Chain A
Amino acid sequence: MTNIGVILTLIVIFGGLLWLLVRSISGREVDRRIIFLFIFVSVAAPIIFQITFKERATPVVEALFANIDGLPAGSKVLISFDFDPAMAPEVQPMANAMSRHCLEKGHKIVFMSLWATGQSLMTTTLSRVILPEFPEKVNGVDYVNVGYKAGNEGVLNVIVSDFKKMFPTDVNGVPLDSTQLFRDIRSCADLDLIIALGGGRPGPKEWVLFVGDPADVPVGVGVAAVVAPQLYPYFPQQIVGILGGVKGAAEYEQLLIATHDRFVDMETPGIDMMGPQTLAHVVIMAFIVIGNIAFFRSRSKGGSK
């Protein structure tokens, strides 16, 4: 079924692109709706026919993976969900994969959010990944969800020296002082790694500026693809690794599957989404080529007049 689907998809898309090329060369305009239809087919077909590709991790992803993998069991990792549903398709798979990785390695996780929408997305990760896949992990001992706090960079400015001043309780109102995990955590300086997930403001950049550097804690980031280029100046000194977009999530999932037998059958939304992304990229590149052919043809015609 998959093979037939791939063949059908390729015939439809490349046949259509060829038709567009001929149309453009003959100087006829291509309606915007036809372009939209192409994108729809190139995204929908890989989802319907489950077209996926094997990923090879890039150094920036490998660096973050190695950092989490190399921490000794019991290390304290903070994961901040600073994103909204618009970014969730790209960033939530990273959150799920890194949460799995941390818990599998025996790390303790503090979940928090600087975005109001992040708290509900955090609940999704907790209830659909951690609770069913790691029933042995105990809330308050292996992980704590402190929820969302308004104040943007202001929150970071406080927790860098006193965590409980900003978050006296967890999301359910349990005092952090009463949790085993927070016995040794006074401020962010007591953490071993911070993973900032997001892409807006406040986001990974603010975590580096307000917490990572002042408290000397390594920061790893997972961001929407459009934001990733802005974070390269911080890598590798201030940011230990970058996961950019669906591709970053897919690479991380691939590494997790390759190195941990437990995760062979796990859900891989990142890898699954690479099919639509690949075909969409091919279609966009084809549009650029066709658009330029039409442009040069019209220019040469104009020049010959």
Chain B
Amino acid sequence: MKRQIPLLITFFVGTLLIISVFVPPLGDLERDFTLFFDIIAVFAFFLGGGNLLRIHLMKLANRRKDWGFSAVTVSGFLFMLAIGLFKVGNPGGIAEAVDAEGSWFKVMFDNVINPLQSTMYSLLAFFVASASYRAFRAKNREATMLLIAAFIILLGRTPLGVMLTGWIPEWMSVAQIPNLAVWIMNSPNLAGQRAIMIGISLGVIATSLRLILGVERSYLGGDSD
């Protein structure tokens, strides 16, 4: 029974939502179910926040390794939660948007979250450069083709491409590096992306049908039988 009821709910809701696409009077169902989903999803925020606090507070209480990082996490979480929920330090008070210019929330966002996230992402440039030296080798025909395409795209994404091949006459403009880069994106890349997208879509349809028909039961947890 513990398994049959969730399976029945999945079957009923899945089938109903598929039918609603083809039966106009049932069209609003999709919107209503989306709102139901949003309401249920709100509880995930509580669960997520609660879990984060529980794990880090236990680490702090037991003075486990690197407990200092947990102290930073908990204090940062509680501080942002407080200034976000109660709009502490907001020039417009409780009625103003949480991230109004000059508010503590916006100051923290601009001066802590913004530079930290940007720094993390920009570190990629260093690793890409290192990988380009060590790993990007023309070991075989396929790798060589990839290498040539990468060169054209890299040049095409900078003004250097125009500088190097801008002199090529208009009737041969397809040979200009920026245009070659556009061609790579518009033709070989597009063909590959479409193939991937169609493959993914077929996979999604197949998985959805398996879920609705109760063939795929791993989402129930435990043994699938």
Which residues of A pack against B, CB within 8 Å? 30, 32, 35-36, 38-40, 43, 53-56, 58-60, 84-89, 117, 119-120, 123-124, 127, 145, 147, 150-151, 154-155, 157-158, 161-162, 165, 171-173, 225, 228-230, 232-233, 245, 247, 274, 277-278, 280-285, 287-288, 290-292, 295-296
Contacts and interface: CB of A to CB of B under 8 A. Distances in A.
A85 B185 contact: no
A291 B143 CA distance: 14
Interface in B90-117: 92, 95-101, 105-106, 109-110, 113-117
Interface string B145-189: 001001100110111101000000000000000100010011001
30 contacts: A32-B130, A36-B129, A39-B129, A43-B125, A54-B159, A58-B178, A59-B182, A84-B117, A85-B114, A120-B105, A123-B99, A123-B100, A145-B97, A154-B38, A158-B34, A172-B96, A173-B95, A232-B185, A232-B190, A281-B154, A281-B158, A281-B160, A282-B160, A284-B154, A287-B129, A288-B133, A292-B136, A295-B137, A295-B139, A296-B138
Contacts of B100: 123
A86 B110 contact: no
A290 B118 contact: no
Contact of A288 (B117, B118, B151, B160): B151
A233 B190 contact: yes
Interface of B: 27-28, 30-31, 34-35, 37-38, 41-42, 45, 92, 95-101, 105-106, 109-110, 113-118, 120-122, 125-126, 128-130, 132-134, 136-139, 147, 150-151, 154-155, 157-160, 162, 178, 182, 185-186, 189-190, 193-194, 197
Contacts of A32: 130
Given A55-B159, A277-B157, A233 B197 contact: yes
Contact of A285 (B30, B95, B154, B185): B154
A245 B185 CA distance: 14
Is chain B's interface secondary structure helix, strand, loop, or mixed overall?
Answer: helix
* Chain A to chain B: the 4 pairs with minimum beta-carbon distance, closest first: A53-B159, A86-B121, A85-B117, A278-B158
A147 B154 CA distance: 36
Contacts of A287: 129, 132-133
Contacts of A150: 38, 41-42, 45
A233 B126 CA distance: 30
Nearest to A172: B97
Contact of A280 (B106, B125, B197): B125
Contacts of A120: 99, 105-106, 109-110
Contacts of A157: 30-31, 34
Given A39-B129, A55-B159, 5 more contacts: A38-B129, A88-B114, A283-B129, A292-B147, A295-B139
